[in-house]
């Protein structure tokens, strides 16, 4: 018999409104939706809790945090992947694009080695064993200031579920780290660099940008086309940078750092994604534009948990309160990211779509998850 589940007497977060009703799941699919407070026989009475689509996360560093919980500590990868997967499920994320860096610097003051190809193989092995709770895709973060980007990109193909390729330019003194003092504090705090190491690392990155930057950027653009992946920009700061992104065919901007860049993105038809921690904390830890300011200006389309998985649901609800429209707020963490990634089978409560759902109730201003379903199966 096909599994069937009905969630009734819930506040359903539909694409454009929130209404009292019930949703029926058959197998892995949403079968139908009805309105009203009735609780059919055999249904789960949600007692007015919210039921919304499962959250869609396009950019998270969380897997990297699990495989390297401390600098120079390499945790067993299978254990790290399973812990990461379970953590995301517990926060309501049912689809994730796992960010993995491609492009390494095997020499110099700030050396770091490649890892994405091996880690992704281990991820897909666990997926083939049906060991993962939620849906995973790859997000390759293409570091243009590196020595090995071209070789690392060539190790991936269309079969690798690469959904997003983002152009990462971390040249000191521009984009995210226009303020060198913020960059210095970040590296010294994370990697215990002294003054001399930091100065040599900055010189090395600037030299790599001069030698390889333009070529690497074009290679990443070409690789995204080869994979059939969405191409994203990262930390656009000026109108000129956004214009270059538009010429590349980019339609998703991750974390633009200024109002100027965010407005330019919308003028070019590029969706703007900001970090949930930025919205919740009230500002950027790097001193860049606040997500709340872009929300107030109508220049914020998608939210990403970035480095705090539990921030994603809280940020969607927070935007719902700011805009006085819960459906609009939740859409920034469900329907909008799904559409941006080209996933037409999820992200909304609609008959025929995947049965990825979450149930939560408000505890003051904070949403508290009570259940999570992925493909109709409860995973948290």
What's the CATH number where 35 sits?
Answer: 2.30.40.10
Cβ count near 331 (within 10 Å): 27
The pLDDT, as a whole number, for residue 284 is 85
| 167 and 26 inside one domain | no
Quick one: pLDDT band at residue 191, thresholds 50, 70, 90? low
Question: Measured between alpha carbons, how far is 98 from 139 in angstroms, rounded to an integer?
Answer: 5
Query: Domain tally for the chain?
Result: 2
| 60 and 164 inside one domain | yes
Cβ count near 159 (within 10 Å): 8
Instruction: Name the residue range of residue 48's domain.
Output: 1-53+348-380
The pLDDT, as a whole number, for residue 306 is 92
Q: What's the mean pLDDT in 186-201?
A: 69
pTM for the full model?
0.91
| 328 and 354 inside one domain | no
| 183 and 66 inside one domain | yes
The pLDDT, as a whole number, for residue 203 is 72
**For residue 74, with 0-12 CB atoms within 10 Å meaning exposed, 13-18 middle and 19 or more buried, which class applies?**
exposed
Looking up tokens 């499920």 gives: 89
| 145 and 7 inside one domain | no
Is pLDDT of 1 > 60? no
Quick one: pLDDT band at residue 201, thresholds 50, 70, 90? low
What are the Cα distances from residue 168, in Å, to 75, 181, 206?
A: 25, 20, 14
| 90 and 228 inside one domain | yes
45-103, pLDDT tens digit by residue? 999 999 999 999 999 989 999 999 987 789 999 999 999 999 999 999 999 999 999 98
| 207 and 110 inside one domain | yes
| 236 and 91 inside one domain | yes
| 27 and 110 inside one domain | no
Is pLDDT of 170 > 90? no
The sign of the CA dihedral 251, 257, 262, 265 is negative
Quick one: pLDDT band at residue 153, thresholds 50, 70, 90? very high
| 19 and 66 inside one domain | no
Question: Measured between alpha carbons, how far is 124 from 100 in angstroms, rounded to an integer?
Answer: 14
Q: Output DSSP code: residue 176.
A: G
Report CA Rg, the chain. Answer: 21
222-268, pLDDT tens digit by residue? 999 999 999 999 999 999 999 999 999 999 999 999 999 999 999 99
Cα-based angle 143, 145, 149 (whole degrees, multiple of 5): 50
| 129 and 250 inside one domain | yes
| 198 and 324 inside one domain | yes
Q: Which CATH number does the domain housing residue 177 bear?
A: 3.20.20.140
């Amino acid at each position: 018999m096909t599994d069937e589940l009905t969630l009734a007497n819930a506040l359903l977060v539909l694409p454009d409104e929130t209404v009292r009703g019930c949703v029926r799941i058959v197998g892995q699919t949403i079968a139908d939706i009805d309105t009203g407070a009735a609780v059919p026989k055999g249904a789960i009475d949600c007692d007015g809790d919210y039921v919304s689509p499962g959250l869609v996360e396009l950019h998270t560093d969380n897997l990297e945090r699990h495989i390297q919980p401390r600098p120079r500590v390499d945790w067993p990868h299978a254990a790290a992947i399973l812990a990461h997967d379970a953590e995301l499920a517990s926060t309501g994320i049912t689809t994730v694009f796992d960010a993995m860096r491609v492009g390494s610097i095997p020499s110099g003051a700030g050396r770091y080695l490649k890892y994405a190809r091996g880690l992704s193989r281990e991820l897909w092995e666990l997926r083939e064993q049906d060991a993962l709770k939620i849906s995973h895709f790859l997000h390759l973060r293409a570091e243009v200031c590196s020595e090995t980007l071209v070789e690392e990109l060539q190790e991936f193909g269309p079969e690798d579920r690469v959904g997003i390729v983002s152009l990462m330019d971390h040249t000191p003194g521009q984009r995210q780290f226009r303020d060198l003092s913020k960059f210095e504090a970040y590296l010294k705090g994370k990697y215990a660099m002294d003054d001399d190491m930091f100065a040599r690392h900055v010189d090395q990155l600037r030299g790599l940008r001069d030698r390889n930057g333009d070529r690497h950027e074009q290679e990443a653009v070409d690789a995204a086309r080869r994979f059939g992946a969405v191409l994203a920009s990262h930390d656009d700061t000026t109108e000129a940078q956004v214009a270059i992104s538009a010429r590349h065919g980019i339609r998703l901007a991750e974390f633009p750092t200024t109002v100027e860049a965010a407005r330019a993105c919308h003028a070019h038809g590029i969706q703007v994604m900001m970090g949930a921690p930025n919205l919740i904390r009230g500002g950027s830890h790097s001193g860049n534009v606040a997500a709340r300011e872009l929300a107030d200006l109508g220049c914020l389309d998608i939210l990403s948990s970035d480095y705090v998985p539990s921030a994603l649901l809280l940020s969607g609800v927070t935007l719902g309160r700011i805009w006085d429209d819960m459906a609009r707020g939740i859409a920034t963490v469900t329907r909008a990211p799904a559409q941006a990634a080209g996933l037409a089978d999820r992200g909304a409560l609609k008959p025929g779509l995947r049965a990825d759902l979450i149930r939560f109730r408000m505890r003051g201003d904070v949403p508290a998850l009570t259940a999570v379903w992925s493909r109709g199966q409860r995973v948290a």
